[in-house]
Amino acid sequence: MGKHGIARTAGVRMFVGMGAVALLTLGTASAASAEEVVIEHLSADPESPFDFGFTLCNDEALGQSFTATATGSVTEVTIFRSGIEATTTLSVYDGDGTSGEPVSTQLVSFADDFGFEPRVFTLEAPLPVVAGNRYSFEFEHIPECQNQAFVWGAYGYNGGTSFLDDVAQADLDLAFRVVIDTSDEDGDKVADAADQCAGTTFGDAPDLRPNRLWSTSVAGFADRDGVIRYTLADTAGCSAEQIIAAAGLGKGHGAHGISVGALRDWVAATH
Ligand SMILES: [Ca+2]
Ligand SMILES: [Ca+2]
Ligand SMILES: [Ca+2]
């Protein structure tokens, strides 16, 4: 692999073969429990976990696609960044690329830290994945190059590619780690064993009346003031739409939200 010189590709400055990085000792990759599968891409050279660094400028967005090696839900994304304190967004995508509509987006913070330790982010809304399919994540607006935001990369990941401002960067990959929780296929944070509704997704709430609730996210069932009144664990992993269908609730529940009483009945019946 080309480990010499400096290449420049569409705004990415690659400082290749950074010997100092070899001093880094990575801990053992997250010890995977029986219900977790870890996808990890670092340099093939154990003495030098990273092959090169991206320097990011002008609020560029940097992403990476990957191929799921198991079916479940992605709960954790790790990249290797060095730079000043920053808040950015982490978005995840169903598919190979970062230009479409993200499945979910969350704010994440980087500490002011010029070390080379892994930056681990837990997804607020786990991303459901199917083994063999491709998915992507993106960190948007990592601050300016004068602040020295480096993101470390490694060559040769065949399951995807990196993206700079939504443009695929052929042959370049981030050094990254993704954790798939194989015990929660639909990513609603309710394990399959306790989940009575497969394939849970979250739609927009209808025009909620007082004491009517809807599940607009994995956070749970909120009232019209946004206060969470029941969690997905309470409802056995079922969304508002799924409960209305399964319990045969009348049209009013779909039009104005599920009544607190109907939801209470559902919780009692499923526990
Ligand atoms: Ca690749
Ligand atoms: Ca689940
Ligand atoms: Ca579910």
What pLDDT does 24 receive?
A: 35
pLDDT of residue 115: 73
Rounded Cα gap, residues 252 and 168, in angstroms? 47
Q: Which domains does the chain have, with CATH numbers?
A: 6-181 (2.60.120), 192-270 (no CATH)
Please tell me the pTM assigned to this model. 0.83
Q: What is the whole-number distance in angstroms between the Cα of residue 161 and the centre of ligand 1?
A: 4
Please report the pLDDT score of residue 50 as a whole number. Answer: 87
Ligand nearest to the CA of 163: 1
Ligand nearest to the CA of 73: 2
* Ligand nearest to the backbone CA of 66: 1
Number of the ligand closest to the Cα of 198: 3
Q: Considering every ligand atom, which ligand is closest to the CA of 153?
A: 1
| pLDDT tens profile 213-235 | 999 999 999 999 999 999 999 99
What spacing in Å lies between the alpha carbon of 239 and ligand 3's midpoint? 7
Neighbours of ion ligand 1 (CB under 5 A): 157, 161, 173
